[in-house]
Structure 1
Amino acid sequence: MAQADELLDLIGDIYHAALDASRWPDVVGRAGRFVGGQVASIFSKSPIAGGGDVLCQSGIDPHYCRLYFEKYVKLDPATTGQYFAEVGQPIAVSDLMPQDELRESRFYQEWAAPQGMVDFISTVIDKSATTAALFGVFRFEQDGLADDAARMRMQLIAPHIRRAVLVGRLIDLKSAEAQAFGAALERMTVGVGLVDRLGRLVHANAAARALLEAGDPLFTRDGRVAVRDGRSDQALQDLITRCAAGDAALGTGGSAMLMTAQDGTHHIAHVLPLTSHARRAVGRMVEATAAIFVRNAALEPPQAPELIAKAYRLTPAELRVLLGIVDVGGVPEVADLLGVAETTIKTHLRRVFTKTGAARQADLVKLTAGFALPVSA
């Protein structure tokens, strides 16, 4: 009866916080203690771009909080699994990976262990294409790993926290997504340029800026993106003009064209309209009507790891090893990058080989190349 009364009082205060934002820190702390931990937070983070933001917290050391988003969010082995979790589904780090594997990771040794943390149970509040917002409760040594009682209590309050958060607009995933969008562009090896209906460059990521500065095959002329070869330039300008009409003109997948640099190397430009359906939001961020993706006509690393994971039913740990092999190249290097033993990497790699049908590491590189297009319909 006491627990039922506590739950009813907590739910009432959760909805009060939707109307009075100043109540959130106290409510989040009480919710965390109800679930079974002394520290709790509502925050957002991106598995693609890294980074994130604390929206409301109770009991978190500011130093470690800052360290997490500046450095360790990219090393957190639970990030991918948390992002893939269904909205409202309680999930603990101990559900995603064995404790001995977690304790071997740099993330645990350098960030979690110094604070005495042993587990973290969370639920997704909302999710966008690049960002997830979560309510989470940290478990310390005295609390032990998340158990069935913690999961049950999280399930009891998670729907109410989600509704109150969304009603109270504590989070704005559009803003978070815009930040993650910009960060993701900078991390891409594919050159990405956003242009208006006249072909004027509105935004370019680092890879695109390098291409434009080199001036071959792309360059800027009076602020407009152009191609050195006259015929290719005419084709590009035509595609940009047609993007103003949206999917009706170019189709949902946009259109691609081949460009040749003076040294004979080939580049592929993929032009995608930003004026229709869900892509309008991206266009409004920077007042662009088209995105131009440019890459060398060679294998590129995948830009949609979640598609690979779903296609081959890879666990988050297996996906990290696959991407590590593609990006870094060898078991020792991947083990050092992830801060785990080489035997752990080899175990996951064997499972990746089994699930994908690949026989060698080189086969994994070829496999991921099929996911290299940076756009989807």
Structure 2
Amino acid sequence: MAGWDEGLREVVVTASAAASDSTRWRDVLVVLARRFGATAAALHTPGASSPERSLFAEVGLSNDSLATYAAHWASHDPWFASADARHITERTGLCFVGRELCDWAELDRLPFYNEFAEPAGVRGLTSLVLDDGVRPGASPLAILSLYRAPGLDEFSFADRDTLRSVHAPLQLALHAHWAFDRTRRDRLMAVDALAATPKPLYVLAADARVLHANPQGAALLSRHGWIETRGDRAVRLGGSGPQAFFAAVRCAAAGEVQVLPVWMPACAEAPACIAVARLVPLGEDNACRLAWPHARVLLMIDVADADRQQRHLSAIAERYRLTPAEARLLALLADGASPAEISAQLEVSLHTVRAHLRHLFDKTGARRQSDLVRLFLAGTEVARPWQ
């Protein structure tokens, strides 16, 4: 930027902001018009293949001038026709003034000037080909034009050369604009696809940050005991410990599918239940990676219905030869209840609860209540009902 005046520096700074905020392109035009003494300015993408690939911004033109131009006058524009015939629009970075393409005498005779340009306050012109549109995915053909009203001096060749000097930063901002736009559209598509899935889904970074949750997943985030977060990072899933959860996320981010049986404790919003958490790696070409560049893992939660939960508990009871009372005690322990709370809930003495607890220790080989909870989560073939 050495040798540039303050006006040109302001152009570059404003263009940088427009890269991520399309509403700021009009600000770019305001700064350019002020720097070059233009009474109007426009940025447009003639011949864009779709509305998503169109960019229109203007300042100083009469109402709907760009829309009217695009709908009717673009095909009659002598400046653009001459530039196109000379293949100027096929060469990124070329800049020209109006009289290089169409002399005054010819312009005065054309309906384009008399019926559109002059009423719109346009006579003097200098245009810059920001991008020729030939690189797939980079940018469509984009033209930046500055105008002066009838009665004012034409733009000079010095103006043309100065405008050309800011082509590189303007083109960089334009390419960034389309990159951000693609990311935004990819994200909207990914969000819609995830929202259409009836199961809770979470897009996770490699460090377990929650980048997105579909509506069903967002509902679980608000339920106590289901998914614990600290800031934007998931740290615990149901009754599983944080170490096990983080290890599963790391393995999934490294490319290994992880399946975790999870006991979801009861809360005010829902009873206790069994769930299976699947952590699936996201490949580089996955839509979630395009929408959220830091995405590495898709976490899916499959909540078992009452019949599946009963089959799970029955499988554990059959393996360890548990009585119905012992199996019930095991389920309540996994739900986070203490022996005293179980005593009150089942309306039996604390002595009876402790007796059942001793039997559980003897039959399963567990030494602590936490071991019983882990046994309940692991079970025997716990994941089979969901396979």
Q: TM-score range by the shorter chain?
A: 0.3 to 0.5
Quick one: higher RCO (CA 8 Å, sep 6+), 1 or 2? 1
TM-score normalised by length of structure 2: 0.39
User: Normalising to structure 1: TM-score of the pair?
Assistant: 0.40
Rg: which structure is higher? 2
